[in-house]
Amino acid sequence: MTAARIGVMGGTFDPPHLAHLAIASDACARLGLERVLFVPAAAPPHKDAEGHAAPAARLLMTELAVEHDMRFVASGLEIERGLVYTRDTLAAVAERFPERELFFIMGSDSLLQFDSWHDPEDILALGGLVVAPRPGDDAAAVREAASRWDSGRVTLLDSPLLGISSSLIRARVAAGLPVRYLVPEDVEFYIAEHRLYAAT
């Protein structure tokens, strides 16, 4: 009997947007994932930088973003434990779900930099990689990067290219432009209510 499969999607989720959800849904369809854990980073590179949301706010927005899809779950694992490395996050998920097969969902930009990550071989020992294309990334370079790491552990998705990013959302909010149809409605309302990303 094949083990049930769980996807893990990391990121800052500052804020979560519709491309995150579309990629997770595609991964579920392609790999038959039982669920996807959305895990906001505890300390993203821009931590404490002006114009970014606090970890608790990012986790709450992630919860709002996924609450209407039974396949998706927001997890405070990295924030609560102060985890930094993907290897440690996957190890913690594996400990919690010992009978599940794990897959880490990333963008093609991350795959192109995967050799600079902390212990990439350990990450692949813990779970496979599921890679969604990002606009602007060279498809041939992405395939070459996948083949460098692949021992049946890298799956390239043929997902729609959605040019939505968290930095785009933040910039639009700061400029007073609408983000409706770019983020889930509940996330849009939360950003407005708490005046996140607004120009000061």
Q: Distance between CA atoms of 1 and 97, rounded to whole angstroms?
A: 16
What are the residue ranges spanned by the domains of the chain? 5-162
**Backbone φ, ψ for residue 130 (5° rounding):** -120, 120
Give the pLDDT score at 66.
98
Residue 137 amino acid letter:
D
* CA-closest candidate to residue 80, choices 105, 59, 104, 49: 59
Q: What percent of the chain has pLDDT over 70?
A: 94
Q: What percent of the chain has pLDDT over 90?
A: 82
* CA-closest candidate to residue 184, choices 5, 11, 20: 20
Give the pLDDT score at 1.
57
Topology (CATH level 3) of domain 5-162: Rossmann fold (3.40.50)
Q: What is the pTM of this model?
A: 0.93
Give the pLDDT score at 149.
86
Stretch among 39-53, 64-78, 130-144, 170-184 having the lowest mean pLDDT: 39-53
4 token code pair? 């049930």
